[in-house]
Structure 1
């Protein structure tokens, strides 16, 4: 378990850290051999023994335990354990106490206990009365104990000083094995700062935030059951915050414990929202005058052609071309804004995909005299999709292929069946290809592929992002890859229905 923590923390800190153990060890479920109801007779045993009732009050303390604390019986009996040891609640031992009181399972912890100034083996056994605790000096030599404690201190200092919040939780499942809550077992200093939750250890999330969204429990339940780690961003509405989260399972599957590293990204999300609002407003404001300018350039071009003014006709056509580029840019900004808001409706109809691909290629052939665009199709069934949006996606990928291909370069567009449910469209070029580090980000918003030995190409990095969103909203998949002989291949699938 401790190595798992080290491995998963390595992504945050490059220097290796040799820790003995960071979190409490949960041993096999061993019941210490106490005779229930007779614990008060064990005043002569060498180990320290004390008993708590269901309300956490001390109802018995053995002579050896009192000797450890240099206390009298009346100093402890009748007082809550949290009053006797104020620092206990925020420690690993405190979290184990709460877990054992909750689920009735015995536990053992070997740890350095500052109140006793040494290493001890603590055996916790729930009983009908409450909890029996036996404390024994741990058998490690002094030379073994202190380096371990020093290393443990270093690790706790590290995890309490990192910006990321950390917590260890036990996911709780109902009788149908469905996750419905989780209990906090361990937290670091940043946890309180980024959640505003105090004294979380031992409490459940439902106790703290009764309306906490179900998807949090489902995600952590999946991690606990499968062992699959996950990174995600999500909103915690009752906490009024956004979080970036990395969750991974701790220990064996039956323990159902999940370690969570997370960061409050509420301010970042607020700034993104402001940026998206600005883009949306600016795009709408630009769209109206551009529509008028486009109409006037078309009218001007026709009038100059009628007058036989070839020189000014050519200039008017160039002007119209640049206005078209501006209109496309604004439309891309509008699409991006709508996608981020979740406002991206599709108008689906059944149509022949080969007809659409042929139309788009003919448009590019008329506008581009230099690149050779080859169409390679196979008979496929009509597809049920948004014809205009699929045409837009095709146009974006072909435009990208032309942009990154040399003059007279060849571009091949292929259409084929995948199976009975999906068809596939691929666009291959013989251009500069995609730098390997960029392959995973090529469909990100505002991302522009490039490297030190690649020239700079115009564009805002929105075309492929919008294309990927169009395909995703249709229930398809999209990929990008490099060809061995140079160039790139973009492929996407579409469901027939």
Structure 2
């Protein structure tokens, strides 16, 4: 039987069609299996797919009628076929021909759904081109000519006016044009630049091995170079740290196969970030010493409290102790942030039971937040190889946030499930929610959503630390939310491989 399963899995991974399996018995029908073709078609890796609902492939394109057809198909437990717009991880649109079929058990209950997808982008493009061919040939030629002329003028204007260095290369990596910002920034002339091979400019100052490797090996495959950091010492201008983005442009006719390179000088920004990190680290350590002393003195006063102490005296000491603890938590958060930025955060990996730390954390928080109903559903019976203290910190932070940002709702729902070879933990609140613009930045260091920063105190580092901890454990952390409808923060962790689950 085990050999048969291996053969079936090999067969699925050999298929050209993307294949996924979702668990209909779990909340939100999460993906529990995907084959290699699905990863290739979507551009997402296995651990970024497992645990998600299939709708993440539509990203923000949510008004498609096909989404409702799929939803009805799932709710009515029937099969269906749709053609829907999906988006790869890099944002590229592709058309997906999707077949969905329910899987029933011996009691005729739908336990899973199987989805088979095929990329039909080329077919859609061919259909669109066929429709265009029905237009007048003369009208097409005139319109196309005007578009190319306008496009050339438009792009030339952009290249010359943007405050960023831009280069346009041909397919042999010769410079076709360089904007004014590039010439001024790198102290070169137009005559010394245009018509020359990029890697031979100046005194071969752009013959940077890592950059050459990217441009000559990756760009021909149509994969863009995005936010690639290059550090180099140039004559006359010294050391520079640059952020490069390179794209292959596929215009028709004489503009075919162009490469656009955008170069952002981030030298000053990097230096400023380094100074900020140094200050953050030093300030946190310097604050830690007097705070520890204050905490010790408060505890000493509490132990030496006179027998006839007034209630006001006792409550004042208690309040001081609470605020000292709060300040200590903030400083610890800053120290964690500093360690993450410098790469010095330590992970002590040992096997631990995720169900136990989840239960213990919920019990502790339920005592400190008695007005909230923190409910856990599901049990995984799994072991994780990782730092249990850090994972506990993540769970504690996510639940505490759910309580904090749900002032008018008392229910916090937590779900624990196995999804393939991962554990998925979800924390759902019914609070203020997060808009789409803020969701993209919610895990950034010191970021706080605009609608909450005035109402709720905080530094905006808890989610950043949590995101980095989960990433260091080879998992993913994400959020699904709508303004006014609450938020669901979910993360996955790989299950420890043993002889029993291999």
Q: For this structure pair, what is the TM-score category when the shorter chain's length is used for normalisation?
A: 0.5 to 0.7
Deviation at 1:473, TM superposition (A): 1.4
Give the secondary-structure state (helix, strand or coil) at the position aligned to 1:406.
coil
Is the counterpart of residue 205 in structure 1 residue 199 in structure 2? yes
Query: CA-atom RMSD, angstroms?
Result: 3.3
| Closer, same or farther: CA 217–483 of 1 in aligned 2, 3 Å | same
Is the counterpart of residue 327 in structure 1 residue 322 in structure 2? no
Deviation at 1:496, TM superposition (A): 2.4
Are the counterparts in 1 of residues 230 and 244 from structure 2 also a CA contact under 8 Å?
Answer: no
1:336, 1:383 → 2: CA distance? 24
Deviation at 1:306, TM superposition (A): 7.2
Deviation at 1:261, TM superposition (A): 1.8
In structure 1, what is the equivalent of residue 42 of structure 2? none
In structure 1, what is the equivalent of residue 77 of structure 2? none
1:268, 1:290 → 2: CA distance? 32
2:152, 2:356 → 1: CA distance? 68
1:170, 1:306 → 2: CA distance? 87
Deviations 1:198-228 (A, max 9, x none): 62442242771377252x3444356523434
Specify every segment of 5 or more residues in structure 1 that has no aligned partner in the other structure, as ranges. 1-144, 173-181
Give the secondary-structure state (helix, strand or coil) at the position aligned to 1:384.
strand
Is the counterpart of residue 165 in structure 1 residue 156 in structure 2? no
Specify every segment of 5 or more residues in structure 2 that has no aligned partner in the other structure, as ranges. 1-144, 497-502
In structure 1, what is the equivalent of residue 222 of structure 2? 227
2:366, 2:179 → 1: CA distance? 62
1:251, 1:482 → 2: CA distance? 37
| Closer, same or farther: CA 305–212 of 1 in aligned 2, 3 Å | farther
In structure 2, what is the equivalent of residue 298 of structure 1? 299
Deviations 1:406-460 (A, max 9, x none): 256111222211112x2111111111111222111111111111339x9621001
2:337, 2:457 → 1: CA distance? 18
| Closer, same or farther: CA 488–221 of 1 in aligned 2, 3 Å | farther
In structure 2, what is the equivalent of residue 464 of structure 1? 463
Are the counterparts in 2 of residues 233 and 242 from structure 1 also a CA contact under 8 Å?
Answer: no
Aligned length: 341
Is the counterpart of residue 189 in structure 1 residue 184 in structure 2? no
| Closer, same or farther: CA 303–428 of 1 in aligned 2, 3 Å | farther
| Closer, same or farther: CA 451–259 of 1 in aligned 2, 3 Å | same
| Closer, same or farther: CA 152–398 of 1 in aligned 2, 3 Å | closer
Deviations 1:79-138 (A, max 9, x none): xxxxxxxxxxxxxxxxxxxxxxxxxxxxxxxxxxxxxxxxxxxxxxxxxxxxxxxxxxxx
Are the counterparts in 1 of residues 199 and 212 from structure 2 also a CA contact under 8 Å?
Answer: no
| Closer, same or farther: CA 190–323 of 1 in aligned 2, 3 Å | same
Are the counterparts in 1 of residues 295 and 324 from structure 2 also a CA contact under 8 Å?
Answer: yes
In structure 2, what is the equivalent of residue 373 of structure 1? 374
Give the secondary-structure state (helix, strand or coil) at the position aligned to 1:236.
strand
Deviation at 1:372, TM superposition (A): 1.2
Are the counterparts in 1 of residues 433 and 484 from structure 2 also a CA contact under 8 Å?
Answer: no
| Closer, same or farther: CA 407–241 of 1 in aligned 2, 3 Å | same
Deviation at 1:284, TM superposition (A): 0.9
1:432, 1:263 → 2: CA distance? 37
Q: Normalization by structure 2: what TM-score?
A: 0.61
In structure 2, what is the equivalent of residue 476 of structure 1? 475
| Closer, same or farther: CA 472–149 of 1 in aligned 2, 3 Å | closer
In structure 2, what is the equivalent of residue 435 of structure 1? 435
Are the counterparts in 1 of residues 434 and 483 from structure 2 also a CA contact under 8 Å?
Answer: no
2:455, 2:483 → 1: CA distance? 23
Deviations 1:276-320 (A, max 9, x none): 111111111001111222222233334449777544333222211
2:306, 2:258 → 1: CA distance? 76
Are the counterparts in 2 of residues 478 and 490 from structure 1 also a CA contact under 8 Å?
Answer: yes
In structure 2, what is the equivalent of residue 43 of structure 1? none
Kindly report which structure 2 residues correspond to 1:59-458, keeping only aligned pairs within 5 A, or say none.
156=156, 158-169=158-169, 183-196=174-187, 199-201=192-194, 202-205=196-199, 208-209=204-205, 212-214=208-210, 216-221=211-216, 224-232=219-227, 234-239=229-234, 240-251=239-250, 257-304=258-305, 310-406=311-407, 409-420=410-421, 422-451=422-451, 456-458=455-457
